Amino acid sequence: MTRQTAMLNAYTPGAGHLSPEDAALAARRAAALGPAYRLFYETPVHLVRGEGVHLYDPDGNAYLDTYNNVASVGHCHPRVVAAMAAQAGTLATHTRYLHDGILAYAERLLALFPPELSHVMFTCTGSEANDLALRIARAATGGTGIIVTDNAYHGVTLATAEMSMSIGAAVAPGPTVFPVPAPSAANYPKGIAAGFAQAVSDACDRMAAQGIRPALLIVDTIFSSDGVFPDPEGFLEPAADAIRARGGLFLADEVQPGFGRTGSQFWGFQRHGLIPDMVSMGKPMGNGYPLAGLALRPDTIAEFGQKARYFNTFGGNAVAAAVGMAVLDVIRDEGLQQNAATVGHAFTQGLRTLAQRHESLGETRSAGLFIGQTILTDGQPDPARTARLVNALRENRILVSSTGPQGDSLKIRPPLPFSLANVDQFLTTLDRLLPTL
């Protein structure tokens, strides 16, 4: 378990200042769900409903959500809920019957990608999408080796957990997984683009020394769990070239940065001027409904498609397609990608302005409405102080989390309808809390 996980999920029944009712609920949860589940915050939050960028407790108190990219277009968006209900009341079945809905959605989704990525396969979760991508990569390349960053998160299946360093040493890394340092200036002081590409080549050399052939380089294109490293734009292209030069494929994991969150582009990989072999999607794709997928080049799937069948009982079902279409409609009609650019810029500038008054605010790294904010003590990243700040914000009804191998940065990733007024609430509260820590 990382220090980040331990400090933000440290609750045990009776801790904090829960009401007797919530303490009893937490105890029931522990008894029913077992020890592997965790709760956020030293004092967990009991939520009963959501709307827009807010979540509400049983007493009607509103919590500003600055963390949730699942409900990307806003909690319980009425257009998404209406599309879900209407389709569920008409037909809910899988992809082995002809149905216009899944085809209309697939074509609409693919139109948002470069034309080279002209096939899409549907799953229920991003974990499944990345697991499927690994199967396809192994069929296409004949290799088994996987390169990931050293605090990556890519899913919870056996295969994806083994390439998710951030979820704990009990399951990761797998024997064919080769971690490399995240693309930060600290890790690659002579240049992130060249340094990261060289790290990929070096990992391929380590594979070769063990008789392993490369299959896949997979990165979350915002490097969320590594600490949020979006810049400089373009630095990923040499790494993609490096894995391809050794016979492997490049998979862009867009589960977190995709669907307009980075503001300037619809997909995170587009900021780097490259075309992946595969792109995995999830979380915001269904705004809370379990919908995920994998876009890919036709030649990438050719070998797998000849030798294997793919079927997912719930992946791409008629209700999922209706929900996915509604999410795309809302992003377009409400201008949420542009909002992510505008509000994200204001948020970033506001944090940098606060840093002029608060020495505890370090580097701000951002793309649109995806922000990593390092918290310092005496000029050094401080995970303990970050955890105290996360919990203090929770006590002031602002929900946020931390990121990075040690949890020394705030992870700010609100629903896309986030407004300038919401930014002001966050910054004003942060300004007031920082001196108290």
Q: Are residues 60 and 91 in the same domain?
A: no
Q: What is the CATH number of the domain that holds 93?
A: 3.40.640.10
Domain count, the chain: 2
Q: Are residues 114 and 26 in the same domain?
A: no
Q: Are residues 168 and 115 in the same domain?
A: yes
User: Distance between CA 262 and CA 268 in Å, rounded?
Assistant: 6
Q: Are residues 120 and 263 in the same domain?
A: yes
pLDDT given for residue 16 in this prediction: 57
Question: 177 vs 10, which has greater pLDDT?
Answer: 177
Q: Are residues 93 and 57 in the same domain?
A: no
Q: What is the CATH number of the domain that holds 50?
A: 3.90.1150.10
Residue 13 pLDDT greater than 50, yes or no: no
Q: Are residues 37 and 85 in the same domain?
A: no
pLDDT given for residue 4 in this prediction: 44
Residue 7 pLDDT greater than 70, yes or no: no
Q: Are residues 102 and 163 in the same domain?
A: yes
Residue 290 pLDDT greater than 80, yes or no: yes
Q: Span 10-22, mean pLDDT?
A: 63
Q: Are residues 283 and 293 in the same domain?
A: yes
The 10s digit of each residue's pLDDT in 331-383 is 999 999 999 999 999 999 999 999 999 999 999 999 999 999 999 999 999 99
Confidence label for 195 from pLDDT (cuts 50, 70 and 90): very high
- Alpha carbon of 80 to those of 161, 171, 214, 286, 319: distances in Å? 31, 36, 41, 8, 11
pLDDT given for residue 430 in this prediction: 98
pLDDT given for residue 173 in this prediction: 79
Angle at 23 between CA 19 and CA 25, to 5 degrees: 115
Torsion of CA 258, 260, 264, 269, to 10 degrees: 20
**Domain stop point among 299, 333, 367:** 333
pLDDT given for residue 170 in this prediction: 57
The helix/strand/coil state of 366 is strand
Amino acid present at 173:
P
Confidence label for 3 from pLDDT (cuts 50, 70 and 90): very low
Q: Are residues 312 and 350 in the same domain?
A: no
pTM as predicted: 0.94
Q: Judge whether 437 and 388 are in contact, CB under 8 Å.
A: yes
Residue 101 pLDDT greater than 70, yes or no: yes
Q: Span 82-105, mean pLDDT?
A: 95
**Domain stop point among 333, 350, 381:** 333
Longest CA span, the chain: 63
Q: Judge whether 409 and 385 are in contact, CB under 8 Å.
A: no
The neighbour count for residue 50, using CB atoms within 10 Å, is 19
pLDDT given for residue 17 in this prediction: 78
- What is the percent of the chain with per-residue pLDDT over 90, rounded to a whole number? 91
pLDDT given for residue 172 in this prediction: 60
pLDDT given for residue 136 in this prediction: 97
Q: Which two tokens stand for residue 84?
A: 């879900």
To which residue do tokens 């040690």 refer?
A: 406
Q: Are residues 397 and 262 in the same domain?
A: no
pLDDT given for residue 36 in this prediction: 87
**Domain stop point among 285, 309, 333:** 333
Q: Are residues 273 and 395 in the same domain?
A: no
Q: Mean pLDDT for the chain?
A: 94
Q: Span 97-106, mean pLDDT?
A: 95
User: Distance between CA 23 and CA 364 in Å, rounded?
Assistant: 37
pLDDT given for residue 15 in this prediction: 47
Confidence label for 411 from pLDDT (cuts 50, 70 and 90): very high
Residue 2 pLDDT greater than 80, yes or no: no
Domain housing 211: 78-333
pLDDT given for residue 289 in this prediction: 97
Q: Are residues 343 and 320 in the same domain?
A: no
The 10s digit of each residue's pLDDT in 51-61 is 999 999 999 99
